[in-house]
Amino acid sequence: MIRLRYFASLREALETDGEALEPPADIHSMQQLRQWLAARGGVWAEQFGAEKRLMMAINQTMVRSDDEFSDNDEVAFFPPVTGG
């Protein structure tokens, strides 16, 4: 089981700040997880589709799409942040 967290505009679009999920056993990387979430369709496909730029973290450490998560990890997705 992993704990997913969604932040900023992603949280607003999905209308939730997170959920606990048990991904299929063959899903290990952040990219695979993202594709699995996109396969839910609708707003999930819009927010997690390949054309959408997202930042990702595992246990509050920034990661790349090929990094792998483990059972009991906290996995976060959020849009890139710009500043001025």
Q: What is the pLDDT of residues 15-72, one digit of tens each?
A: 999 999 999 999 999 999 999 999 999 999 999 998 899 999 999 999 999 999 999 9
The answer to whether residue 82 scores a pLDDT higher than 80 is no
DSSP collapsed to 3 states, 16-74: CCEEEECCCCCCCEHHHHHHHHHCCCHHHHHHHCCCCCCEEEECCEEECCCCECCCCCE
In this structure, the strands spanning 74-78 and 61-63 are: unpaired
Nearest CA to 72 among 25, 2, 10, 15?
Answer: 2
Q: Residue 51: CB partners within 8 Å, gap ≥ 6?
A: none
Query: Is the pTM value of this prediction over 0.85?
Result: yes
Asked if pLDDT for residue 84 goes beyond 90, the answer is no
